[in-house]
Chains A and B, each alone.
Chain A
């Protein structure tokens, strides 16, 4: 649903899931998988900012747009991935421990990216596009490298890359079916007592299984 909001927010929302996959691939020892994702993110930012410049935004406005985008990337990571655990169900992780590691990584990185946007003691208000971009890239790289080290220091062997489990099912997963199941789940969701335990109660994995049955 569209709403009125800040320029850059949409850009910010398009980036978290790719970054979460980058950390996951690094944790699995598949660092080469990150090349095309990194290219995707950079192209997205380059072209978006270029079009915003074409539309008349000044260099300082572009910096503000990028800063906002980075902040909303952080928000998505911190609230949606780390706090709520949403969208983590299809990650190509090898174990629950690895999944928790990725989610924790999203929490740390999310808060750091929120700082980039909203803490002028961290990044000065006068910072330009290049400076903000540099900080953003280095923070992402730091988490990816850390995940790489975790893999390298562990005893697990490099396994073949996992195919998307949705693709492996050889069918398009329609979210429309999920809506009805989500609606049922939401009846059980108490926002007032929104803890990790509650989040687990509305485990989407159950819904996926149910929706698969519905589709058959």
Chain B
């Protein structure tokens, strides 16, 4: 099973919520190995995040998102190693940012904001126990397939439905974290 297949499966299980894929192609350009995923045109008009920013959310969308995520998370027949190689890039982010900054926030004698006041009041032991348990969750648990990008900016909305962009390579998130992680990992994580 690969991303193309899982996208196709989910789009058939929840029609209208996931853009059906058409093809997944290998591209070699300037010594870079890439993949091009071609999908049907999304009828969704804009990113869902606008509705939160404007404080006016269409109540018909939440059930669609919840259904879609639940369908994905309850698929029983999946490879526990699915895309597991992509985890290393996130673990790098943990080692280089999450851990040291959480540690710094919990040990500072001169807290600069409410977050540092709270973290330092908990103390390093508590904060790092929490952070390490969270990281262990990410590293070890393989209960189900995760969409792993189901935030407001990776989904588009229509009047009556929501399209979750379940697409690995078209970089539909408008922020750096997703692009960053995908840039690092996409070449190694998929099979055509």
Choose among B55, B66, B98, B133 the residue that contacts A36 (Cβ–Cβ < 8 A).
Answer: B55
Q: Are A204 and B70 in contact (CB under 8 A)?
A: no
Number of chain B interface residues as a range: 35 or more
Residues from chain A with a CB closer than 8 A to the CB of B142 are 4-5
Q: Smallest Cβ distance from A32 to chain B, in angstroms?
A: 8
- CB pair A119 B126 closer than 8 Å: yes
Is residue A14 contacting chain B, with contact meaning CB distance below 8 A? yes
Is B23's beta carbon under 8 Å from chain A?
no
Decide yes or no whether B110 CB sits under 8 A from chain A: no
Interface size on A, residues (CB 8 A): 87
Q: A1-B3, A3-B82, A194-B97 are in contact. Are A51 and B67 (CB under 8 A)?
A: yes
Report which B residues bind A (CB closer than 8 A). Answer: 3, 6, 45-47, 49-57, 59, 61-63, 65-67, 69-74, 78-84, 86-87, 92-93, 96-98, 101-102, 105, 113-115, 118-119, 122, 126-127, 129-131, 133-134, 137-138, 141-153, 166, 168, 170-177, 179-183, 185-186, 189
7 cross-chain pairs, A with B, having the tightest CB-CB distances, nearest first: A33-B55, A107-B115, A51-B70, A47-B66, A43-B62, A179-B171, A182-B179
Give A contacts to B, CB under 8 Å.
Answer: 1-11, 13-14, 16-18, 21, 25, 30, 32-34, 36-37, 39-41, 43-48, 51-52, 55, 68, 71, 75-76, 78-80, 82-84, 86-87, 90-92, 100, 104-105, 107-108, 110-112, 114-115, 117-119, 121, 161-164, 166-167, 172-173, 175-176, 178-179, 182-183, 185-186, 189, 191-192, 194, 202, 204
